[in-house]
Amino acid sequence: MSDKYQQLRELFGEIFDLKAAANVLEWDQQIYMPPGGGSVRAMQLATLLRLAHVKLVSDEFGAALEAAEAEVASLDPDCDEVRVVRKVTRDVDKWRKVPSEWVGEFTRITALSQQAWEKARAESDFAQFEPHLNKVVELRKQYAEFFAPYGHPYDPLLDFFEPGMKTTEVKAVFDELRPQQVELVQNIAEHGAPVDDSLLHQPFDEGKQWDFGVEVAKALGYDFESGRQDKAVHPFTIGFGVGDVRITTRFNPNYLGTALFGTMHEAGHAMYGQGVKPTLDRTNLIEGASYGIHESQSRMLENLVGRSRPFWVAFYPRLQKVFPSQLGDVDLETFYRAINKVERSLIRVEADEATYNLHIMLRFEIETALMEGKISVGDLPEIWNSKMEDYLGILPPDDAKGVLQDVHWSCGYIGYFPTYALGNLMASQLWVKIDEDIPNLARQIERGEFGDLLAWLRENIHQHGAKFEPMELLQRVTGSSLSPEPYLHYLRSKYMDIYKLS
């Protein structure tokens, strides 16, 4: 490629390096940093991301971008060069609306707020987190104002995670999903053949859980030469380049599901990151098309693969060998039904597929109300609990299992949650296509073979990173726009079978 484009890449490479360094610092902060490191760490993160912003919106960078735009104008509009330039342009346009000082302050406040959340969650005490969250929400409201006029104050936040998506669109999707998911859950509760998942609630040695999780992640295609797994309070995936994408997990010594499905979920994210074309390293395309597309990869691995019958045909005998006293006498079908038990439960990340989106809708309603100024941070525990009763008919025993359960708000990730639901939809939509393209897929999975699946994902999704916008990518791959139908169809047929409903 020619000069101007290379110059842009080099300048962007510096910005990438600053952001990747910030990611290393965040990884460390959430996993290994001692308490004494908290306040300077917040300063360090603020400096890195503020400087990255200063560089991105600088005149020097603007000029380089303009020169590169002109240079690539005549190339194939789908080639990497054009798409790199286009994505950089979108980012510059967006970030020029935001002052560098805001970026620094937001970074510092959210770093401290994460540290506070961790402690508040451990002590199940919302009050000590409240002042931090207040600042975060205040900053997010400021952020929305940078993008005024907007259709809805939540739009700029949503756009941050799901470029192009509007609050009204999410509402419309949720309005379509809600009654059907509620009806399904109701139907299961009233007419389903009971499922007993007590076998999952036994003591399981942490070391053995770890080893089995690693084995599964490797089998799925997560490459430990270009990543690693550590323990974290709230599992996450983070990358510093195509060759270093790390996952985290957490353990419940008395419940098998936490680490097992958590690891598959994060491996799904990480394989996306590891699968981006290496020539796109140090560009902003390696981030992934959107958080929704990212969640389609993680939720697909966790659920469409990890909670499927074929998967456990391959892995259940192995799991039984690891935990003979707990599972030796449990047959595959009983295990399969247990891991798919539908239950109105407290913790989103452990929710079954039928109720999962209800957890998301609850958060979406709270977040939009916060941004509209209809509720305030101090009201959150009460509102959370009352919505839990509305949606799921249960009341959290404490804040740790309620409003404090997720790390997202402490990070300023208001607007993220809808992408989980969108990811669920996209995963099912993609799966229909995958199933067409790999006719004997179920047989392969039953043999523990994921090579064709990974190759398909690499070819159609991973390699491109953020080259295509999310809806464009979905359209290119599946031939249709976002639709809840494949997802609802998948849910219904899966649970009708498990719960023997007609």
Q: If residue 237 lies in a helix (H) or strand (E), which one and from where to where?
A: strand 237-239
> Nearest distance from residue 21's CB to its own copies, in Å?
5
Query: Is the CB of 241 or the CB of 412 nearer to its own copies?
Result: 241
Task: Compute the chain's Rg from CA coordinates.
Answer: 22
DSSP 429-446: HHHHHHHHHSTTHHHHHH
Query: Is the CB of 11 or the CB of 304 nearer to its own copies?
Result: 11
Q: Which of 26, 81, 162, 266 is catalytic?
A: 266
Provide the CB-side half-sphere exposure for 363 (13 A, CA): 26
Of 154-162, 239-247, 355-363, 492-500, the segment contacting its own copies by CB under 8 A is 239-247
Query: Is the CB of 55 or the CB of 344 nearer to its own copies?
Result: 55
Task: Confirm or reject binding of residue 103 to its own copies (CB under 8 A).
Answer: no
Residue from 8, 30, 44, 294 in contact with its own copies (CB under 8 A): 44
Take residue 490 and report the two structure tokens written for it. Answer: 């998948």
Count of residues that interact with its own copies, criterion CB under 8 A: 42
Q: If residue 238 lies in a helix (H) or strand (E), which one and from where to where?
A: strand 237-239
Task: Confirm or reject binding of residue 34 to its own copies (CB under 8 A).
Answer: yes
Residue from 9, 87, 132, 282 in contact with its own copies (CB under 8 A): 282
Nearest to 423 by CA among 301, 306, 300, 336: 300
- 61-100 positions binding its own copies, by CB under 8 A: none
Distances (CA, A) of 295 to 87, 219, 265, 268: 20, 20, 9, 8
d(CA 155, CA 92): 18
Residue from 71, 81, 244, 399 in contact with its own copies (CB under 8 A): 244
Query: Is the CB of 201 or the CB of 231 nearer to its own copies?
Result: 231
Of 20-28, 113-121, 142-150, 264-272, the segment contacting its own copies by CB under 8 A is 20-28
Task: Confirm or reject binding of residue 38 to its own copies (CB under 8 A).
Answer: yes
266: annotated active-site residue? yes
Task: Confirm or reject binding of residue 263 to its own copies (CB under 8 A).
Answer: no
Taking the CA atoms of residue 493, residue 168, residue 426 and residue 288 in that order, the dihedral angle to the nearest 10 degrees is -160
Take residue 168 and report the two structure tokens written for it. Answer: 């009204």
Residue from 2, 3, 6, 39 in contact with its own copies (CB under 8 A): 39
SS3 readout for 357-402:
HHHHHHHHHHHHHHHHCCCCHHHHHHHHHHHHHHHHCCCCCCCCCC
> Nearest distance from residue 389's CB to its own copies, in Å?
40
Which residue's structure tokens are 């389903």? 192
Residue from 1, 7, 43, 171 in contact with its own copies (CB under 8 A): 43
Pair 268, 293: CB distance under 8 Å: no
d(CA 220, CA 267): 8
Task: Confirm or reject binding of residue 462 to its own copies (CB under 8 A).
Answer: no
- 178-237 positions binding its own copies, by CB under 8 A: 223-228, 230
> Nearest distance from residue 450's CB to its own copies, in Å?
20
Which residues make up the interface to its own copies (CB under 8 A)? 13-14, 17-18, 20-22, 24-25, 27-28, 32-41, 43-44, 46-48, 51, 223-228, 230, 240-244, 246, 281-282
Which residues are known to be catalytic?
Answer: 266
